[in-house]
Homo-oligomer: A and B are copies of this chain.
Amino acid sequence: MTDQQWFYERSFRGSLAFGAKIKKVLHEEQSQFQNIKVIDTEPVGKLLLLDDKTMVADIDEFVYHEVTAHIPYMVHPKVRNVLVIGGGDGGVVREFTKHSDIETIDLVEIDERVIEVSRQFFPECTQGLDDPRVNIQPTDGIEFIKSKKNQYDIIVVDSTDPEDFAEGLFTKDFYSAVNSALKDDGIMINQTENPFYDEFGIRKIYDNMREAFPIVRSYHAPMLIYPGVYWTFGFSSKKYQPLEIIADKIPAMKKLEKTLKWYNLDWHRGAFALGNLHKNLIGE
């Protein structure tokens, strides 16, 4: 590939395209599970592709990682044990390591090569992986979760789209298994796609979550490299509401948020206020 070439991701049944001008192809390999590529682009910086689908980029990696970690952390009174499923780039783990009261952070990533490639090309994302509290499990998330009971305060499902081997991460059975792996007051966070281009049936995803959890809410944040950018996330909880921020944690967050690139407490409060299309589509 040369300077003149473009990367295109086509989505929404092949009818929508996101394109970025390529500066350089930095890496390409075929792992046991998928094609892994890293390209440097003009508009979004370094971009990690799995089977040619956009995963992580310099331009917005902090949004996804900050909003999936700090939202549940701020509404759970005592987070000791965290599990991140998927997310081999390490960005979500990095955000959890910023909280000194968390005791263990398990990362389950089926493809170890994603972690290694991320260490090489996205060191700003993987910097948290060497924290002594982090335990990396190179295994299948669905199998792993079935073996755990009453163990985690927060589980983040950092998955790809609901197709191929990630499809199982959007089922009622999976959400029930996550529920069982959580303690009695646990919280699950998951990415739930774009409601304008509703290719995978967002209502069904939310209905599946509702079968497993008594409290299910949705919030949004921009993901520039994902189809349609306006991205939704699920907040499923056994006990805590997403806007009941723990007062004792506010002073430390007020300091931390000065160093963050997206998350702040005001934004947290606004992120659950949904436009009608988003609300209606998820059945809220």
Q: Interface residues, chain A, CB within 8 Å of chain B?
A: 6, 8, 10, 12-21, 41-44, 59-60, 63, 196-197, 221-222, 224, 228-230, 257, 260-264, 266-277, 279
Task: Please give, as numbers and ranges, the residues of chain B lying within 8 Å of A63 by CB-CB distance.
Answer: 275
Q: How far is the CB of A190 from chain B (nearest CB, A)?
A: 20
Would you call A196 and B264 a contact (CB within 8 A)?
A: no
Smallest Cβ-Cβ distance to A229: which chain B residue? B229
Task: Please give, as numbers and ranges, the residues of chain B lying within 8 Å of A268 by CB-CB distance.
Answer: 273
Q: How far is the CB of A272 from chain B (nearest CB, A)?
A: 7
Given known A264-B276, A273-B271, contact A8–B17 (CB-CB < 8 A): yes
- Cα A63 to Cα B230 in complex, Å, equals 12
Number of copies: 2
- Cα A196 to Cα B279 in complex, Å, equals 26
Smallest Cβ-Cβ distance to A20: which chain B residue? B16
- Cα A224 to Cα B257 in complex, Å, equals 29
Q: How far is the CB of A197 from chain B (nearest CB, A)?
A: 6
Smallest Cβ-Cβ distance to A197: which chain B residue? B43
Q: How far is the CB of A12 from chain B (nearest CB, A)?
A: 5
Q: How far is the CB of A163 from chain B (nearest CB, A)?
A: 18
- Cα A10 to Cα B19 in complex, Å, equals 9
- Cα A211 to Cα B257 in complex, Å, equals 29
Task: Please give, as numbers and ranges, the residues of chain B lying within 8 Å of A14 by CB-CB distance.
Answer: 21
Interface centre among A12, A41, A60, A273 (most CB of B within 10 A): A273
Task: Please give, as numbers and ranges, the residues of chain B lying within 8 Å of A273 by CB-CB distance.
Answer: 266-271
Q: How far is the CB of A27 from chain B (nearest CB, A)?
A: 21
Task: Please give, as numbers and ranges, the residues of chain B lying within 8 Å of A260 by CB-CB distance.
Answer: 276
Would you call A264 and B269 a contact (CB within 8 A)?
A: no
B17, B42, B269: the one within 8 Å of A6 (CB)? B17
Would you call B17 and A41 a contact (CB within 8 A)?
A: no
Task: Please give, as numbers and ranges, the residues of chain B lying within 8 Å of A222 by CB-CB distance.
Answer: 196, 222, 229-230, 275
Task: Please give, as numbers and ranges, the residues of chain B lying within 8 Å of A8 by CB-CB distance.
Answer: 17, 19
Would you call B269 and A275 a contact (CB within 8 A)?
A: no
Q: How far is the CB of A193 from chain B (nearest CB, A)?
A: 14
Would you call B270 and A272 a contact (CB within 8 A)?
A: yes
- Cα A228 to Cα B226 in complex, Å, equals 10
Q: How far is the CB of A283 from chain B (nearest CB, A)?
A: 16
**5 tightest A-B CB contacts, nearest first:** A270-B273, A17-B19, A229-B229, A270-B270, A15-B42
Q: How far is the CB of A127 from chain B (nearest CB, A)?
A: 19
- Cα A15 to Cα B23 in complex, Å, equals 10
